[in-house]
Amino acid sequence: MEYRLMIFRKRLDKTQENIHLDRYLVTYADLITLLLGLFVILYASSRVDEEKFKEISHAFSEYFQPEKISDGGAGVFKGIPNGIPEPIMPYPSKKSLEQIQVETERSLKKYVDNGLLTVTRTSNGLTLTLSEKLLFKSGKAEVEPEGMSVIDTLALILRGIDKQISIDGHTDSDPIRSFRYESNWHLSVARAVNVGYYLVERGLSENNLMLRGFGAQRPVAPNSSIEGKAKNRRVEINITELSNNTPSTEGYQQKR
């Protein structure tokens, strides 16, 4: 009797074990059913209504249908004699000093009105004076973001002109002695080089460009006042007509 009872218990344990092992199939079947339903919904929602698609295609094709060329070739060029548009003339490669002055004063009017940029006609040509406040921090030669935007505009105006351009850096008389700049002369040269470099980087030709630094040697106002010193801290872009004294590049290899 006990032997039979033990056999019955073993069979019962195996049956329960099989039941426990098969329980995951229920969850798995539910998951597969849900995924199948999801794919059916996605497929149904992605189907294109063919009738609506044809209507939209027909409407677009009618709206954008090009006009047939007729009446002596007028067609799409209505209002233009003989259907031929006027040629687009290229912008003149040579600008006069008057043109440069007008374009600069118009494009950078805000800075001209604020006194940060001065446009002056001289006996030799045209001088654009940019104040230190517009371009640099005190004692620095790195061009500030607002100054960069002004240089971008000037590069567009001066690009391709057949003129001699010199960029001159100037400082006030207060001595400077820093790790980077040993004197005002060093600072003025660095400022001129940076302005010239950015102009060339934006398309200005290097052929007729000169970069110079004068330190405090060419003041435009007395250095005895704060206002005078502020006027002396500047960068000048001098634009003149080409002359026989312009250094020639003949005999030198052009940079590629």
Angle CA 56–59–64, to nearest 5: 125
Task: Kindly report which listed range (7-16, 154-163, 220-229) carries the lowest average pLDDT score.
Answer: 7-16
Of residues 61 and 154, more confidence is placed in: 154
- pTM for this structure? 0.60
- pLDDT above 50 for 235: yes
Mean pLDDT value across residues 128-157 = 94
Report the pLDDT value the prediction gives residue 6, as an integer from 0 to 100: 58
- C-alpha–C-alpha distance, residues 188 and 137, integer Å: 13
Q: Which two three-digit tokens encode residue 16? A: 């329960």
Exposed (0-12), middle (13-18) or buried (19+): which is 244, by Cβ within 10 Å?
exposed
- The CATH T-level fold of domain 97-240 is 60s Ribosomal Protein L30; Chain: A; (3.30.1330)
SS3 at position 235: strand
Contact 242, 205 (CB under 8 A): no
What are the sequence ranges of the domains in the chain? 2-47, 97-240
Q: Which two three-digit tokens encode residue 213? A: 């630094």
> How high is the mean pLDDT of the chain?
78
Of residues 69 and 27, more confidence is placed in: 27
CA 248 to chain centre: 34
Highest mean pLDDT among 3-17, 29-43, 86-100, 143-157: 143-157
Report the pLDDT value the prediction gives residue 35, as an integer from 0 to 100: 82
CB count within 10 Å of CB 104 equals: 23
- C-alpha–C-alpha distance, residues 86 and 40, integer Å: 60
- C-alpha–C-alpha distance, residues 191 and 201, integer Å: 15
Mean pLDDT value across residues 215-226 = 94
Report the pLDDT value the prediction gives residue 23, as an integer from 0 to 100: 66
- pLDDT above 90 for 167: yes
- pLDDT > 90: percent of the chain: 47
